[in-house]
Amino acid sequence: MTRNASHFQRKEPFLEKPVSALRYKKILPNIPKGSYVLDLGCGFDAKFLKTISPIIKKGVGIDAFVTKKGLEDNIKLISSSLDKKLPFDSNTFDAVTLLAVIEHLEQPVRLLQEVLRVLKPGGRLLITAPSRGAKPLLEFLAYKLKLLSSREVADHKHYFTEISLRGQLVKAGFLRNKIEVESFELGLNLFAKAIK
């Protein structure tokens, strides 16, 4: 399926905003104050970057479809595919976020290798991703009840276990002893933090 719109570029079903808010709540305590943050797959309006704008020094968002409207002074958006080399020098960012993005990638390891490159030493990668057990529920909520975006769920190429998500990070070059993976939202989602 070829994407022709970013998340939240169009009107989304009822549960999309509350589910996104739960992801933000999980990630927020892990964003260092005064940091330089890269949000990959930031969505059309870079909602997460706007949320953290008061506590970060600078934020950059990349998505295939972005708007430049209503941005804070410390946020920059780049319209680009995540399949390309990231347009940044090595050792640039304090934190990189992939919120409900990795499951949409054909080859997650390639992007994770790029993330490792652009993170500063000691920088952190923060990921949320759906668990393998969430697949039937997400499909039911999207296709039957129309409470989640069927376009987004249909675009899922992967579902993860704690072991498989950790494995993707190790393949990309992150050290196993610097990776934490846990489930949240009643086991429907996974949260991973990997330190460079």
How far is residue 81 from each of residues 22, 124, 161, measured CA to CA in Å?
Answer: 26, 22, 26
Q: What is the pLDDT of residue 54?
A: 97
Q: What is the pLDDT of residue 5?
A: 53
What is the fold of 16-195?
A: Rossmann fold (3.40.50)
Q: What is the pLDDT of residue 4?
A: 54
- Per domain, the residue ranges of the chain are 16-195
pLDDT tens, N- to C-terminus, the chain (196 residues): 444 555 444 567 777 888 888 899 999 999 999 999 999 999 888 999 999 999 999 999 999 888 776 678 999 999 999 998 999 999 999 999 999 999 999 999 999 999 999 999 999 999 999 999 999 999 998 999 998 888 889 999 999 999 999 999 999 999 999 999 999 988 999 999 999 9
Q: What is the pLDDT of residue 3?
A: 46
Q: What is the pLDDT of residue 1?
A: 44
- In this prediction the pTM is 0.92
